[in-house]
């Protein structure tokens, strides 16, 4: 049963960070657009997408070592 509770806690944390990220994205995009124009915001999010893509490719076949739960 402990594994089920741990899974729900991790899922809740992930969902919470997604909502925080969505809120920060709107604020940051608005500030960047006011400060440097829409093109700066566009380039920043392209850079973020490239970084996320590289991280995804690096972790694509990652398999953690077997722990005590497996």
- Which tokens in the block code for residue 13? 């944390």
pLDDT at 61: 84
DSSP3 helix / strand / coil % (the chain, rounded to 5): 80, 0, 20
Nearest-angstrom CA–CA distance, 49 and 4: 32
- Note the pLDDT of residue 2: 60
Taking every pair of Cα atoms in the chain, the longest distance, rounded to a whole number of angstroms, is 52
pLDDT value for 69: 56
Question: Looking at the chain, how many residues does it have?
Answer: 70
Domain residue ranges in the chain: 2-59
| Measured distance CA(47)–CA(20) in Å, rounded | 20
Per run of 10 residues, the mean pLDDT along the chain (length 70 residues) is 73 91 91 94 93 92 70
């Amino acid at each position: 049963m402990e594994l089920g509770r741990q899974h729900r806690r991790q899922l809740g944390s992930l969902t919470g960070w997604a909502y925080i990220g969505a809120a920060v994205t709107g604020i940051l995009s608005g500030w960047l657009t006011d400060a440097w124009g829409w093109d700066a915001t566009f380039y920043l999010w392209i850079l973020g997408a490239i970084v996320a893509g590289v991280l995804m490719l690096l972790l694509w076949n990652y398999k953690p070592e077997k722990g005590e739960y497996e």
